[in-house]
Amino acid sequence: MAEAQAAPRKLPYVAAITDGVRQVLKEQENAFVIGEDVAGAGSVYGYYKGLLEEFGPERIYDTPISEEGIMGLGAGAAATGCRPIVDLMFMDFIGECMDEIANQLAKMRYMFGGHARLPVTVLTMAGAGASLAAQHSQSLEAWLCHVPGLKVVMPSTPYDAKGLIIAAARDDNPVFVVLNKTMLAMTGEVPEEAYEIPLGEANVVRTGRNYTIVATSRMVHEALKAAEQLKAFDIDAEVIDPRTLQPFDTGTVVASVKKTHRALVVHEAVRTGGLGAEIAACIQEEAFDYLDAPVARVGAPFSPVPFSPALEAHYVPNAERIVAEVRKQLGL
C-alpha cells in the first residue's frame, strides 16, 4: 500500500472493474455475482477473471442463457436479504429482461409501500465501434433513466469504474453500471484501497471559460479532444462528465452553463430520444437567460448500428463531429 501511494497504481479499465467487484465481494458478505459465463470464463470480456478462484463458487455463479430469469433472481434475492451483482453480458439484451427491470426491480419498493429494498447492482456492456453490428453495440441508458426507481452510472475511466461500482453496490437501490467495450484497455490510476464516487455527482474533467460540453462514457475522451481543437476558435471549453445519469447532477451542469453561456451535450446513444434531450431541456429550463445559443446535441444518427467498419466509422460520434456541431451552432 505504502508503495502504491508512492507510485500511484495504473490499471486498465477492465481490471478496474474487477477490482471494484472484488472490493464489494470482500466488504459485503451477502453480495454475489451472477450472470452468463461470469464464473468459469470470468465474462467474455474477462472483467471477473480470478474472482472464482479468489472467492469460490459460493460467491460467483454461471447461469443458463435466461436474462428474465437472471434479473428476476436478482430482484427476488435482493428483496430477501442479498446484495446481488447481476451481469447482463451486452446492454443490447436488456429487452429480454426489461419487464423484470422496469416492472419488478424498479417498482417493487414503491408498490410495496416502501417495505422492500432492492440493492441490486447490474453491470452491463454498451458501446459501438467493435464491428459487432446492430445487436451487440447499443447504448440504451435512456430507457433506464425514464424509469423511476432505477439509478444509472456510466464510468468513463478506470478510476471511475472502480469507484462507481463500489458506490453502486453500497447503495440500497437498483443501480445500473453501464460499461463501454471500447475502453476496456484504457489505463489510468486506480488506487488499491476502496473508494466511492458518490452517486449523483458530476465531474468537471476540464475547466473552461466560454463553452460547456456535457459528455458521457467514451464520449468524455472525444469531448476532451474536441476541446483542444476548439482552442483554435477561441473556445475554452469546460468538459463535464455527469458519471451518474440518474440521479442527474443538474446543478453542476447549470452552474457551468451560467458561466460559459453555451453548451453541447454528446453521447454515443442514438441522438433522437437520447438522454441528451433531457439534459438540453433542463439546461434551457434553468439557464435560459444565460444562453447565447441553443444547446446543441451530438449523438448517433437515427439508424441501427451498421456492421461494416466503413459505415460504423460514420456512426459513432467523435471529436470531429463535436467540433463541427459547435461551429455550426456558433456559425464559426
Partner 1 sequence: MTAQISDQTLLDLHHRMVRIRIFEETAGKLMEDGKIPGALHLYVGQEAVAAGVMVHLGNDDWITSTHRGHGHLIAKGGAFDRMFAELYGKATGYCKGKGGSMHICAMELGMLGANGIVGGGPPLAVGAAFSSRFRKTSNVACTFFGDGASNEGAFHEAANMAGLYKLPVVFVCENNGFGEYTAQANHQAIVDVADRAAGYGMPGVVVDGMDAVAVYEAAGEAIERARRGEGPTLLECKTYRFYDHVGVRGMGLSYRSDDEVARWKERDPIKLLEARLAEHEILSPDQARAVHDEVTREVEQAVAYAESSPLPEPDALLEDVYA
Residues that bind ligand TPP (CB under 6 A): 36, 65, 67, 89, 93, 96
Integer Cα distance of 145 and 164 in angstroms: 17
What ranges in 121-274 are assigned the alpha helix state H? Answer: 141-145, 158-170, 219-230, 250-260
Residue appearing with cell numbers 429494498: 117
Integer Cα distance of 125 and 129 in angstroms: 13
User: Of residues 29, 54, 58, 67, which has the active-site annotation?
Assistant: 67
- What are the DSSP calls for 80-145, one per residue? TT-EEEEEES-GGGGGGGHHIIIIIITTHHHHTTT------EEEEEE---SS--TTSS---HHHHH
Rounded (5°) CA angle 33-91-20: 40
Indicate if 3 belongs to the active site.
Answer: no
* CB of residue 103 to ligand TPP, shortest distance in Å: 8
Joined grid coordinates for residue 306: 451498421
* CB of residue 114 to partner 1, shortest distance in Å: 4
Q: Of 74, 29, 89, nearest to 56 (Cα)?
A: 29
State the binding partner of 63 from partner 1, a copy of itself, ligand TPP, none, CB within 5 to 8 A by kind: partner 1
315 binds partner 1 per the rule CB under 8 A: yes
Site string for partner 1, 39-78 (x = CB under 8 A): -xx--x-x-----------x--xxxxxxxxxxxxxxxxxx
* CB of residue 13 to ligand TPP, shortest distance in Å: 21
User: Of residues 36, 100, 136, 312, which has the active-site annotation?
Assistant: 136
* CB of residue 96 to partner 1, shortest distance in Å: 8
From 78-86, 181-189, 251-259, 281-289, span contacting a copy of itself (CB under 8 A):
281-289
State the binding partner of 142 from a copy of itself, ligand TPP, partner 1, none, CB within 5 to 8 A by kind: a copy of itself
Q: Which of 135, 228, 309, 313 binds a copy of itself (CB under 8 A)?
A: 135
Of residues 221-240, those binding a copy of itself (CB under 8 A): none
Residues 6+ apart with CB under 8 A from 210: 234, 235, 236, 237, 260, 261, 262
Contact yes or no for 205/254 (Cβ under 8 A): no
State the binding partner of 200 from ligand TPP, partner 1, a copy of itself, none, CB within 5 to 8 A by kind: none
Indicate if 267 belongs to the active site.
Answer: no
104 binds partner 1 per the rule CB under 8 A: yes
Q: Of 301, 260, 266, 259, nearest to 280 (Cα)?
A: 266
Q: Which of 80, 185, 288, 289 binds partner 1 (CB under 8 A)?
A: 80
Handedness of CA 94, 96, 102, 106 (dihedral sign): negative
Q: Of 237, 263, 238, 249, nearest to 197 (Cα)?
A: 249
Give contact residues for a copy of itself (rule: CB under 8 A).
Answer: 92-103, 106-107, 110-111, 133-135, 140, 142-143, 145-149, 246, 269-270, 272-278, 280-281, 284-286, 288, 291, 293-297, 302-304, 306-307
